[in-house]
Structure 1
Amino acid sequence: MITLAVMLIVLLLLVILWQRRLIVNHNRQVKYVHEKLNNILDEGTHERLLLFSSNRELQILLTDLNRLLDANHKGAAERAKLDKSMRNMLANVSHDLKTPLTVVLGYIETLLHDEDMPAAERERMLRTIHQKANEVISLMNTFFDLAKLESGDSNIPLARVELGEVCRRNILSFYDLLNAKGSEVQIDLPDEALYLMGNEEALDRILNNLLSNAIAYGGAGGILGLKLYSDEDKLYIEVWDRGKGIAEAHQDKVFERLYTLEDSRNRVYQGSGLGLTITKRLAEQMDGTISLSSKPYVYTAFTVAFPRLRF
């Protein structure tokens, strides 16, 4: 009996020692996770928590923590991208406002100090002041339009719209301008009526932006095309040209707020960098998407896709 009691006591002591060792090891692992996690957060590194452990609960906790770290890293990258976008946006807005305002202030100063200016010259300056002031108003209105779209305060009413008629109306509004520039126009619209749940005013603005963009940047190609086609589920509007196009490095950025190519700072190209962003937001409000494919001086196409309405 005594021998059995001693054996039980020894066994109990071994179990206690084994449990204590597990607790000590567990505490050491938890301390490591705590210190490593704080180090990752403090230094902003992209490391992950790595720990070999037989404790299933601890393994699950590490997996969840690493998922949180991944989300935090992704959020930090998106915030950095947004900060850069905002800085570029402010720089571009400042440039686009400063240029016409500088002209306006310069002309006003000239008019104030030159009382003997000929009437014809005075009228020319006043017309220029009026034009530049309208440029500023137009830019600010466009900027506020984008702000409303992105804030969700501008939900557009949707109705059944025949897309072919919208395309015909918009390409005809540019026909005289294209003809004056000597550009060939290629229109490919089906005889079949194609319907979507959309907003005619928003669709007009989308096409106006895309056609204006093709004329401004693709004019060197001497041709502009508008194509409407469909498949079982979607309708597609494609506006294309054979102009200078957009280099691959820029293609994923052209829909960002106020992103402009370097030479669009030249006022020959009257872009503010907002048109394509607004086009994308309007398309999205009608459950649509927009994409770009470009090979300079071969084929550059903006394609907007919408869900097809079958009735």
Structure 2
Amino acid sequence: MIAILIFIIIFLLILNGLQYFFRAKMNKSLKEIHEKLSDIIKNESAEKVLIQTDQEAVKLVLIQINRFLSYNQKVRADYAKAKESSSKMLSNMSHDLKTPLTVILGYVEKLNLNENMNEDERKEVSNKLYQKTKDVIDLLNQFFDLVKIDADDYAIPLKQVAINEVCRKTVLEFYELLQSKGIQVELNIPEQPLYILGNEDALSRIFSNLISNSIRYGSDGGTFGMTVQEEEEFVTVDIWDNGRGIAAVHQDRVFERLYTLDDARNPEFQGSGLGLSITKRLTEAMKGSIHLSSKPYEKTVFSCIFKRITY
């Protein structure tokens, strides 16, 4: 009986000792985690909490902590990118509004102060004033459209649309302008209807933006082209030119709001940086995608890909 009691006491002492050991080990691990987390937060670093342990519970906690740190790092990076984008957007918007408004003010002053201006000169200045004012209104409309699209407040009702017909109509609207600039037009648009679930107005705006972009930046290549083709269950619309193209450093950013190429702010290549951003968002709103491939003075292609429907 006494032997049994001694055994039980020894067993309890060993058990208590093991509990104390594992508790001390757990406390040590938690302390290390606490110190490491404190350093990461204090230094705002992208490090992870890495400690050696054979305790499964601690390993599971570390996995979740490091997942949270990765998520937090991504959120911070996205915030920094959004902040930088917003800052640049405001700066570019200020520039894009200030320049034409200054010109408009100059025209108004010319009309008011020059009493000796003849009727033809006055009419010419009035026409220029009208066009500049229209440019500002167009810019503001694009900006607010982009804001509405980003806020999911831009209604795009979808229905069956023959995308090749929309392409044909849109190119026709630009045909005279393309001819006036001496640009050779190469079209490959099938007669057989290719249907997608889309919106005709949105598609027209997408293709108009891309054609305008091609004329603005690629007319020096002398050729403009549009190709519509069926690829398995998809329809691809390629709008291309052989002009100066877009350097690789810019290709990943051309769809960002108000992002423009370095020389896009001189009068010859004036652009707002909103058209391609709107184009991308409208394409995605119709469950499509848009891609850019460019080799300067060889071929620059914007490819819009939509899922084909057969009903």
TM-score where L is the length of structure 2: 0.95
Describe the superposition over 1:200-223 as per-residue Cα deviations: whole angstroms up to 9, x where unpaired. Answer: 100100110010100110001000
| In 2, Cα distance between equivalents of 1:168 and 1:128 | 32
Secondary structure of the 2:305 match is strand
| In 2, Cα distance between equivalents of 1:113 and 1:186 | 50
Describe the superposition over 1:57-116 as per-residue Cα deviations: whole angstroms up to 9, x where unpaired. Answer: 111111011011001111111111111111111111011100011112233334444444
Q: Match of 2:284?
A: 284
Q: Match of 1:67?
A: 67
| In 1, Cα distance between equivalents of 2:234 and 2:30 | 54
| In 1, Cα distance between equivalents of 2:155 and 2:71 | 30
Following TM superposition, by how much is the alpha carbon of 1:135 offset from its aligned partner in structure 2, in angstroms? 1.3
Q: Does 1:235 align with 2:232?
A: no
Q: Match of 2:267?
A: 267
Moved more, 61-70 or 23-32: 23-32
Secondary structure of the 2:267 match is coil
Following TM superposition, by how much is the alpha carbon of 1:231 offset from its aligned partner in structure 2, in angstroms? 1.5
Q: Match of 1:250?
A: 250
- Count the aligned residue pairs: 311
Contact 1:255 1:277 in 2 (8 A): yes
Following TM superposition, by how much is the alpha carbon of 1:119 offset from its aligned partner in structure 2, in angstroms? 4.1
| In 1, Cα distance between equivalents of 2:111 and 2:181 | 36
Following TM superposition, by how much is the alpha carbon of 1:4 offset from its aligned partner in structure 2, in angstroms? 5.1
Following TM superposition, by how much is the alpha carbon of 1:297 offset from its aligned partner in structure 2, in angstroms? 0.4
RMSD: 1.5
Describe the superposition over 1:9-40 as per-residue Cα deviations: whole angstroms up to 9, x where unpaired. Answer: 33422321221121111112112212211221
Q: Match of 2:308?
A: 308
Secondary structure of the 1:306 match is strand
Q: Match of 2:32?
A: 32
Letter in 2 for 1:73: Q
TM-score where L is the length of structure 1: 0.95
Structure 2: unaligned runs, 5 residues or longer: none
Letter in 1 for 2:42: D
| In 2, Cα distance between equivalents of 1:172 and 1:127 | 26
Describe the superposition over 1:117-175 as per-residue Cα deviations: whole angstroms up to 9, x where unpaired. Answer: 44444433333222221111110011001111110011311111111111111111111
| In 1, Cα distance between equivalents of 2:32 and 2:130 | 69
| In 1, Cα distance between equivalents of 2:181 and 2:116 | 40
Q: Does 1:210 align with 2:242?
A: no
Letter in 2 for 1:30: L
Contact 1:155 1:285 in 2 (8 A): no
| In 2, Cα distance between equivalents of 1:257 and 1:102 | 24
Q: Match of 1:97?
A: 97
| In 1, Cα distance between equivalents of 2:244 and 2:281 | 25
Q: Does 1:147 align with 2:147?
A: yes
Describe the superposition over 1:218-241 as per-residue Cα deviations: whole angstroms up to 9, x where unpaired. Answer: 001000000000122100100000
Letter in 1 for 2:90: L
| Percentage of pairs with the same residue | 46
Q: Does 1:83 align with 2:83?
A: yes
Moved more, 215-224 or 30-39: 30-39
| In 1, Cα distance between equivalents of 2:3 and 2:263 | 95
Moved more, 72-81 or 5-14: 5-14
| In 2, Cα distance between equivalents of 1:136 and 1:300 | 29
Moved more, 155-164 or 109-118: 109-118
Letter in 2 for 1:254: V
Following TM superposition, by how much is the alpha carbon of 1:7 offset from its aligned partner in structure 2, in angstroms? 4.5
| In 1, Cα distance between equivalents of 2:171 and 2:110 | 42
Q: Match of 2:176?
A: 176
Q: Does 1:41 align with 2:41?
A: yes
Structure 1: unaligned runs, 5 residues or longer: none
